């Protein structure tokens, strides 16, 4: 039986996000109407240990090839992610002394473990039902599945929060998120355009883990010691992904064939080349797609990589502004984003379209789980 949801002008919602970098969980409590109002109340990032990060990567690496087996395989491995979410959400509630009864919803992104737009499949681990039952708070999750059912790619899914940011600060800018994968959002003549554009942190992070047993290359210091391997970089530039029209999306492991080649060369050169791969995605996007904008608002973990940032500024003829300059915490934008699109879903407002994911029509989404 369907349960009624109290219709409110504003909702207090906790957004929970773990991105393709798989470096931790971001949690943000906001008050929003899902359209033109967002007030951040509390927020915090929680880092995965290197051991936990490697456990998740190992689960992904050991996936079967068959599509039906993949779904069952990942569901069997969901308990680990559920435990992680429960632990960090509980820490968040306790740290800020949040009364659970004051929260309308938890909006859960889920940990993306497999994304294949060609097969129209995107798997995020983390059960909305388990979270709802554990905290006795209504939880919305599965935010990508309705898009996929309507011929969308299920990613990027946060474009309409980026639209909110652009409407508030500068419609003549674009937002570029440097997570594991890089994606952009632009608003043009009331239409929202969005797409993945290439790797951001995923190859750099994986190589840093492989060579140095570290989660990431802080400030790009290790990468800056190397030289570009032009043979591998030129091969990367010719990848078919860059020839595809937007919108398009990527699994974080799509570029593994280049990463595996980089593992066989000097470790500093490998990291340097991987960093320039992040530049290539930018350049290909700017050269092929004629969006008119004055400024790039940069968000995501990659904005903290000072070596990557220097490379972008030296090679892209556009002004680059870190989102933090707008008094928005660039580490927690995506947690805010999932809280925001969760409420848009509750209100049956658009969260994706043919211009953001390739869906056949404007799509809302998400499934609400009520606690027992």
What residues in the chain have per-residue pLDDT under 70? Answer: 1-4
pTM, two decimal places: 0.95
Q: What is the pLDDT of residue 11?
A: 98
State the Rg of the chain over Cα. 20
Amino acid 210: pLDDT: 97
Helix orientation angle between 333-346 and 159-169, rounded to the nearest 10 degrees: 110
- Give percent above pLDDT 90 in the chain: 85
Tell me which residue has tokens 């929003």.
32
What is the DSSP annotation of 302-314? GGG-HHHHHHHHH
The upper half-sphere exposure of residue 260, i.e. CA atoms within 13 Å in the direction of its Cβ, equals: 5
* Residue 215: DSSP 8-state: S
Q: Closest Cα to residue 227, out of 277, 278, 266, 281?
A: 266
pLDDT of residue 1: 33
How far is CA 356 from each of CA 154, 299, 368, rounded to the nearest angstrom?
A: 9, 18, 23
- Residue 4's pLDDT is 65
């Amino acid at each position: 039986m369907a349960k009624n949801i109290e219709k409110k002008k504003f909702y207090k919602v906790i957004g929970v996000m773990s991105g393709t970098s798989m470096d931790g969980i971001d949690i943000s409590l906001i008050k929003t109407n899902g359209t033109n109002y967002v007030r951040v109340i509390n927020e915090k990032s929680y880092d995965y240990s290197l051991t936990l990060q490697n456990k998740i990567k190992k689960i992904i690496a050991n996936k079967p090839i068959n599509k039906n087996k993949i779904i069952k395989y990942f569901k069997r491995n969901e308990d680990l992610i559920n435990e992680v979410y429960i632990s960090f959400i509980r820490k968040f509630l306790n740290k800020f002394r949040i009364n659970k009864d004051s929260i309308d919803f938890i909006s859960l992104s889920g940990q993306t473990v497999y994304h294949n737009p060609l097969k129209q499949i995107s798997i995020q681990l983390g059960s909305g039902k388990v979270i709802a039952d554990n905290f006795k708070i209504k939880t919305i999750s599965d935010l990508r599945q309705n898009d996929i059912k309507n011929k969308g790619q299920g990613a990027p899914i946060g474009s309409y929060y980026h639209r909110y940011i652009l409407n508030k600060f500068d419609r003549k800018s674009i937002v570029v998120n440097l997570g594991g994968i890089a994606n952009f959002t632009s608003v043009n003549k009331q239409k929202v355009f969005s797409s993945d554009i290439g790797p951001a942190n995923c190859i750099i992070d994986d190589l840093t883990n492989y060579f140095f047993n570290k989660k990431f290359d802080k400030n790009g210091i290790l990468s800056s010691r190397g030289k570009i391997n032009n043979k591998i970089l030129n091969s990367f530039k010719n990848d078919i992904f860059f020839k595809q029209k937007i919108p398009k999306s990527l699994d974080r492991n799509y570029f593994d064939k280049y990463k595996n080649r980089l593992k066989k060369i000097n470790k500093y050169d490998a990291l340097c080349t991987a960093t320039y791969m992040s530049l290539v995605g930018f350049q290909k996007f700017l050269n092929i797609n004629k969006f008119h904008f004055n400024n790039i608002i940069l968000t995501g973990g990659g904005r903290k990589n000072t070596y990557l940032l220097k490379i972008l500024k030296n090679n892209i003829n556009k002004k680059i502004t870190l989102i933090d300059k707008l008094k928005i915490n660039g580490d927690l934008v995506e947690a805010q984003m999932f809280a925001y699109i969760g409420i848009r879903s509750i209100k049956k407002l658009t969260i994706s379209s043919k211009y953001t994911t390739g869906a056949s029509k404007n799509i809302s989404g998400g499934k609400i789980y009520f606690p027992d």
